Every structure is written in C-alpha cells, then in structure tokens.
Amino acid sequence: MLENNQHIKLENSLKIISLVPSQTELLYYLGLEEEVVGITKFCVHPNHWFKSKTRVGGTKNIDFNKIKLLQPDLIIANKEENVKEQIEELQQYFNVIVTDVNNVEESYEMISTIGELTNTATKATQLIQQIKECFSQLKLAYKNTVRPSVCYLIWKEPYMTIGGDTFINDILNWAGFKNVFEQKNRYPQISLEELEKLQPDYIFLSSEPYPFKEQHKQELLKNHPTIQSKIILVDGEMFSWYGSRLLQSSNYLKKLILELP
C-alpha cells in the first residue's frame, strides 16, 4: 500500500500537507484541523478547509515554493494521483508517504497507516471497522445471481473507462456489477463502436474527473441510438474516494442499486 517510503518517525506536534483530495477529507475526519497546513486546489472537502487552508498547487503541478515556506513535517501523496518526479523531489527535503490504493482492502491499510503517523490510530481503527460493517451490508443489497454489466466512463473526447486493476472496478464488484472492460488495465481509451458491440446493461457517466452532466447523456442517446444501454449519471466521489468517504459510498451504492431501471 505504501510505495518506496522510508521509515518515518514523527513527533506529536505535526504540520501536514495533503496532495490527495480523498485523503485530505480523511485527515479532517480524523480531527486534524490544526495539523493540516496545506492542501491542493482539488481538495474541496471539507469546504471550510478549501477556503482557509493554503493551496499548494494541483495534484499534478505542485507549487514547491509554497510547500517549502510551510515547512511540513509530513506530506501525504498518492502513486496514481501525483507525479512521480515531483514527489521524488519533495522526498529530498521532507517526510513523504506515497499511498497506493487499488481496492477497498488497501484503503483499510492506508487509513491505518495515516492514523499511526498522525497519532489518531484509535479513531482510524474505529473508522475502518465502520466501513467494513457498511460494506458487508452492501453485499446484501443485491441478490441476483446474474450481475448487471456496466461501462463506467471517466472522460470524453476521447472516451475513457476503467480497467480491472482500479479502485473503481473494486467498488463496482462490491456493488454487484460486472465491468465489461475489466480485462483492460488502468484507464483505457475506448470507442463507441466497442460499446455498440458489447451493449452493457448500463453506462455510468461519472461526475469526475470529467464532469458528465445530463446534456452528455442526451447527446449519447440522440447521436448513438444503436447503443441500447441504460445511461446513468453517477457521483464519481462515491466510486473513487478511498478515505472516510467510504462511509457514505456504501449507502449511496445501495440506493443506486435499488433505483436502477
């Protein structure tokens, strides 16, 4: 779960920078209001942190000067969301942990590690147990032996989906769906011709990273009538955020399952 990290020993007093939106939200859940001094411009939750905390650039274009001025004791990054070369440069000056979360089980490891590093281990352990209970209930929300097939779109022009080695794919599995592109890796480009051939039961249009909206759904329905899949707008944070957001994800997914046409 942690990628190329040296052993990090921290004191009780911390200054933390988070370069990962979902892990920023986790730090808030763990009660680290004073300790977190810097976040990215994409760390929109909680809203009052987005408005008040120093923003140190984006997830892929870090402002090194702002980080150096803050002099953090710990920087929290992620293998997928941040740029390897930028993180390696930060590691020359600061304690940096790089998480690598590809499924729900690895999210538990990440939460536990961050809890230990930030002196919030008890609350982190409680959070993990709560998430486990929620996801065990999620399994009961679908009872059909035949799993609905789905294509989960994350981008437009070109259209991009998710492969079988992603966190989103694991969430789809937990919710009882079968990803029609699970044989592919990471985030492949696909064509609408492939969708016409596969005809999944559902096409999920995610709200992030591309902000799919009703107009995009209507475009697909109008311009590609040979695609018979039911097209559903979904909340991308509920499928891809792997910190404390998982407490909300399970209820969101249960509701989605019950309301699908």
Tell me the pLDDT tens digit for each residue of 42-58.
999 999 999 999 999 99
Mean pLDDT along residues 217-243: 93
- Residue 16 predicted with pLDDT over 50: yes
SS3 105: helix
Please provide the DSSP assignment of 51-62 as one string.
Answer: HHSEE-B-SSSB
Please write the tens of the pLDDT for every residue from 145-163.
Answer: 678 999 999 999 999 999 9
- Half-sphere exposure of 70 toward its Cβ, with a 13 Å CA cutoff? 25
Say whether pLDDT at 5 is over 80.
no
CA atoms 191, 196, 198, 199: torsion sign = positive
pLDDT of 4 higher than 60: no
Tell me how far apart the alpha carbons of residues 78 and 26 are, in angstroms, rounded to a whole number. Answer: 14
This prediction has a pTM of 0.90
In this predicted model, which residue has the larger pLDDT, 258 or 151? Answer: 151
Q: Which amino acid is at 73?
A: D
When pLDDT is averaged across residues 81-105 and rounded to a whole number, the result is 95
Q: What gap in Å lies between CA 168 and CA 248, rounded to an integer?
A: 15
- Cβ neighbours around 223 below 10 Å, total: 9
Tell which residue, 94, 48, 44, 89, has the closest CA to residue 69: 94
In the three-class reduction of DSSP (H, G, I as helix; E, B as strand; rest coil), residue 231 is classed as: strand
CB 60 within 8 A of CB 98: no
Read off the pLDDT band of 1 (50, 70, 90).
very low
Q: Is the per-residue pLDDT at 11 higher than 80? A: no
The Cα–Cα gap between 240 and 233 comes to 15
Instruction: Report whether pLDDT(2) > 60.
Output: no
- Rounded CA-CA distance 124/113 in Å is 9
Give the separation between CA 159 and CA 86, rounded to whole angstroms.
28
Tokens of 169: 């794919």
The predicted structure's pLDDT at residue 136 = 87
Name 186's Cβ contacts closer than 8 Å, sequence gap at least 6: 162, 163, 165, 166
Instruction: Write down all domains in the chain, each with its CATH number in brackets.
Output: 16-136 (3.40.50.1980), 149-259 (3.40.50.1980)
Confidence of residue 6 (pLDDT cuts 50, 70, 90): very low
CB 58 within 8 A of CB 40: yes
* Phi, psi angles (nearest 5°) of residue 236: -65, -30
- The sign of the dihedral angle between the CA atoms of 83, 86, 88, 91 is negative
